[in-house]
Amino acid sequence: MIIDMHCHLDLYSDPYKVAAECKERGIYVLSVTTTPKAWNGTSKLAEDSQRIRTALGLHPQIAHQRAHEVELFDALLPSTKYIGEIGLDGSKEYKEHWNIQLKVFRHILKSIDREGGRYMSIHSRLSANAVLDELEGIAGTPILHWFSGTKKELKRAIDMGCWFSVGPAMLATKKGMSLVSEIPMDHVLTETDGPFAKISRKPLFPWDAELSIKQISDIWKLREEESREVIFNNFKSLLCSS
């Protein structure tokens, strides 16, 4: 069973073709959005599929351009159990927009908390501690996608009960492998972050989440079929956690 817990399904060149293949292969996909305005169109990709779920998001890298969409976010929030992609980005090219990112993220988290919590796929590049600060006391289930913080930040996230979605691009680096080796096995899920994430300069597709299994198996010292079973059991456990 293939599970892609973070994929930008709507941003492929032919999203309906990709969605149709996901349905045919029986892949579980969390289809994240970067802006609330994308919600309606992206939701159509999940029609007639019990295994594709659409997440409502407002990406931190465009928060300064889309901050006015927080009202639309609030209006759509009752329509879904899944939120993503949201978070903060402290990298150089987005640091100048930090204050508006923080304002938007705080608004989103307060809205989620007020609604009793959601599953949240969260971006935390160069901002892990700040993201964790904001998550303190917020109802819901945080899933840190492609976590790239320090070991100390990772420990804090683990202690807070966060989940982690890891993909082939993350596992292609020594740091990514090292971080995954520190994450409790029962809180690891697979993702692709396609089409943004690439391997050999080619965008990843939801079925490429399967590429993560070999590296994860090497870390866990398990057979690949055993790792698949762990990941699927984690997925089922996640869905029972809220």
Residue 24 sits in a domain whose CATH number is: 3.20.20.140
Alpha carbon distance 152, 130 (integer Å) = 13
Alpha carbon distance 192, 87 (integer Å) = 18
Instruction: Give residue for tokens 């995954």.
Output: 180
pLDDT at 242: 61
Q: Give the number of other CB atoms < 10 A from CB of residue 236.
A: 10
Alpha carbon distance 188, 153 (integer Å) = 16
Nearest to 10 by CA among 24, 25, 27, 29: 29
In a structure prediction context, what are the per-residue pLDDT tens digits for the chain, which is 242 residues long? 899 999 999 999 999 999 999 999 999 999 999 999 999 999 999 998 999 999 999 999 999 999 999 999 999 999 999 999 999 999 999 999 999 999 999 999 999 999 999 999 999 999 999 999 999 999 999 999 999 999 999 999 999 999 999 999 999 999 999 999 999 999 999 999 999 999 999 999 999 999 999 999 999 999 999 999 999 999 999 998 76
Nearest to 187 by CA among 124, 238, 133: 238
Q: Give the SS3 label for residue 141.
A: strand
Alpha carbon distance 240, 242 (integer Å) = 6
Segments forming the whole domain that contains residue 166: 3-239
Number of domains in the chain: 1
Is the separation of the CB atoms in 178 and 147 below 8 Å?
no
Instruction: Give residue for tokens 């971006």.
Output: 123
pLDDT at 241: 75
Nearest to 235 by CA among 189, 182, 181: 189
